[in-house]
Structure 1
Amino acid sequence: MSRMITALLIGLVFGTGIALSGMINPAKVLNFFDVAGTWDPSLAFVMGGALIVTAIGYRLVLKNPAPLLDTAFHLPARKDIDLPLLAGAGLFGVGWGIAGFCPGGSIPALGLGQPAALIFVASMVCGIAVTRLIRR
């Protein structure tokens, strides 16, 4: 039960941060990508801040032998850059640039009842399902 409550609290903090930063607003995200027009650099500060917090957090947390609510850390074992990684990163970027949503921002946007978020999340779930079928 404590793991579920912890996950809920972490999700609430993440969703609140995404909402406060404006990353659930597709127009704000698309303006970030529009460097030749209505460019809005504010999301660069959001991403930079997240990168700094993550870097510090990893340094502090990974000094422990295991997380508080698990027996071991579950970190990626592979460090190589391959075609599926590059293709996935490219699709992520193209999808974010077209829709103005990323997976992290689309989930909190669902809570606001945005129809575009519902379409995006449904498409994302379908894409995940198709990818899993192809990989089998």
Structure 2
Amino acid sequence: MHTPALAVTRTPLVAVYGTLKRGLRNHHWLEGADYIGSDTLTGATLYDLGPCPGAKLEPSNGIEVEVYRVDARLLAGLDRLEDYRVRRPSTGLYDRTIHRTSYGAAWLYLYNPDVTGCPAIREGGWWPGHADPRSLG
């Protein structure tokens, strides 16, 4: 469930669904973060953008996320990676919004551009052709 943006805490949680997950190419951006656990979010739908997935705020059967506790420095790095623009979030590649997870409220990056022509990921809730998060323990 999506909730309005809340003040950033000193140790915010971040829910990741794509190349930031364990075993994938951008996971190194989470070096130093504490892995909290996996969860399924039903308030967002994943789209296959080719080199990465993008989430849109649309109900789904669930997307598989990994939840991490990050500090302000790591969150700022993730913002750079995702082209999140604090002052004008709708102009960047991704927006960052708060969603409820079973571990508490967590930031989730939502893809801003139009996804017309991109296939929705309906089966399994993870990016197809890449590591099934359940196989990574």
When normalised by structure 2's length, the TM-score is 0.26
Question: 1 or 2, which has the higher strand percentage?
Answer: 2
When normalised by structure 1's length, the TM-score is 0.26
Question: 1 or 2, which has the higher helix percentage?
Answer: 1
